[in-house]
Amino acid sequence: MLQKRLVAWKAGLSAIRALSMPSRADTQPMRFHQVATGKAASKFVTDFAAGAVAVRAENPRADKLRTMEKTVQVSPSILSADFANLGQEVGDVLKAGADWVHVDVMDGRFVPNITIGPGVVSALRKAHPDSILDCHLMIVEPEQRVEDAPLAQMTISGVDRVAPPAASTIHLHRTLNQIKSFGCLAGVVLNPGTPLSQIEYVLEEVDLVLIMSVNPGFGGQSFIESQLKKIKDLKEMCKAKGVNPWIEIDGGASGANAKEIKEAGCNAIVAGSAVFNAPDYAEAVKAIKEA
């Protein structure tokens, strides 16, 4: 499946390169908006659409996410794991009862840190072929860079859902549709200072809304209590629009505050330090689920 994803992506990338505007130097990064129109552009769309259909057909994990009952899911963030033993750590939390694996990808620009890339994700997918990899994409302008293709690379590597911050792009609707065109489910992230109004117009497009209850980029921070009201307001907004995305929280969550988080309206909880720093992973996951 990984090889088919790579072939589909390369075909689309070749089409983009072939269609680049004559005024652009070959050494400069290519961008989506610098693609010609007409029959050639249609070929580009067809290449990617064909690849996306093939990817979707081979991804039962994404189908599971679309149809599963929205009971509380625990998603340990590998940002807090031991990177020297990452494959083993992920296997251990899955055996301990974790439902998803939360993958934080950082570019050193949108947030100060740099974490992991497609190579690590590909290795995790190979080691844990049935696990649901939930990608929080903390990069600048994810829709703009086709040459290094952050969206394409992560989906090719094997993530099942990609959620960029609403604050990272001025073309959010377009970015979400790009994610879906690569065969992944699309989520969106609200940082603590990002208002709900910024995503209201795309709620029908997303599978998940991730509320950050810490400032993104670092593990082990304290929970920002004001985000509980944002969760409640989001729940009401979704109800008014007749949509039912996953509502996930990330940052400072643990068994100690999981009850109020769930009561506010969350049905997915990212827990990094609370799980990976616990002496017993199974007890930590259980404490969150049963709170």
Residue tagged 């949108």 (tokens): 110
Q: Are the beta carbons of 181 and 173 closer than 8 angstroms? A: no
**Quick one: tokens of 248?**
């996930």
Integer CA distances (angstroms), 58 to 3, 158, 234, 260, in order: 12, 11, 32, 38
Euclidean distance between CA atoms 117 and 115, whole angstroms: 7
Beta strands in the chain (DSSP E): 73-75, 100-106, 132-138, 161-163, 185-190, 208-212, 246-250, 268-270
Contact 3, 153 (CB under 8 A): no
- Distance, CA of 158 to CA of 105 (rounded, Å): 14
Residue 218 CA to residue 79 CA, distance in Å, equals 8
Q: 131: closest CA among 99, 178, 174, 168?
A: 99
- Write out the catalytic residue numbers: 104, 250
Chain-centroid distance, C-alpha 53: 20
Backbone φ/ψ region at 265: left (φ over 0), alpha (ψ -120 to 50), beta: left
CB distance 250 to 211 below 8 Å: yes
